[in-house]
């Protein structure tokens, strides 16, 4: 019997370090050591993290991403990730919302939810549970 468990990871992407800390704490409080939690400060850094994780056999199952970030915005980032890794689920969390971007990211990246900042912890964890089949 094979007892090796594939490690699954959740990646949080936001240009504000305090938001990343809060998201990681919230996820750990809810899911403990069930997942590996990774963070990135922008889309470019996030792509490197995803490629590295996938390259080492880690199953990246979910990305929680901000929308308004320097460089590539969250919707463009999630759409490009979806094209490269179609199985990775996504949730966008943002304080600045662009309705066209919301419609686009849901249609082109299959983003499960777009939540406001500050987020409602119960609403966020429910969305994470759905995306991670928990």
pLDDT at 4: 44
Evaluate whether residue 124 is within a structural domain. yes
Q: What is the CATH number of the domain that holds 12?
A: 3.40.50.2300
- Helices in 1-134 by DSSP H: which ranges? 17-31, 43-55, 74-84, 99-109, 121-131
- 3-class SS of residue 93: strand
pLDDT at 16: 96
Evaluate whether residue 3 is within a structural domain. no
Question: How many distinct structural domains can be found in the chain?
Answer: 1
Task: Give the whole-angstrom CA distance, residue 62 versus residue 10.
Answer: 5
Helix (H) or strand (E) holding 68: none
Predicted confidence (pLDDT) per residue in 26-55, tens digit: 999 999 999 999 999 999 999 999 999 999
Domain extent, residue 119, equals 8-131
Evaluate whether residue 59 is within a structural domain. yes
CB 93 within 8 A of CB 121: no
Predicted confidence (pLDDT) per residue in 6-30, tens digit: 699 999 999 999 999 999 999 999 9
Neighbours of 11 (CB within 10 A): 22
pLDDT at 5: 52
What long-range pairs does 118-126 form, CB within 8 A, spacing at least 24?
Answer: 119/93, 121/26, 124/26, 124/91, 124/93, 125/26, 125/30
Q: What confidence tier does 1 reach under pLDDT thresholds 50, 70, 90?
A: very low
Evaluate whether residue 2 is within a structural domain. no
Predicted confidence (pLDDT) per residue in 94-126, tens digit: 988 788 999 999 999 999 999 999 999 999 999
Evaluate whether residue 54 is within a structural domain. yes
Tokens for 13, please give them: 């992407």
């Amino acid at each position: 019997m094979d007892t090796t468990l594939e490690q699954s990871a959740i990646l949080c992407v936001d240009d504000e370090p305090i938001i990343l800390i809060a998201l990681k704490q919230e996820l750990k409080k809810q899911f403990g050591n069930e997942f590996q939690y990774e963070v990135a400060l922008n889309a470019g850094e996030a792509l490197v993290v995803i490629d590295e994780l996938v390259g080492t056999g880690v199953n990246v199952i979910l990305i929680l991403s901000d929308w308004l970030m320097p460089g590539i915005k969250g919707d463009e980032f999630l759409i490009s990730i979806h094209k490269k890794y179609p199985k990775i689920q996504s949730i966008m969390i943002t304080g600045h919302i662009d309705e066209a971007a919301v419609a686009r990211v849901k249609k082109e990246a299959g983003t499960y939810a777009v939540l406001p900042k500050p987020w409602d912890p119960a609403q966020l964890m429910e969305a994470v549970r759905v995306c991670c089949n928990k």
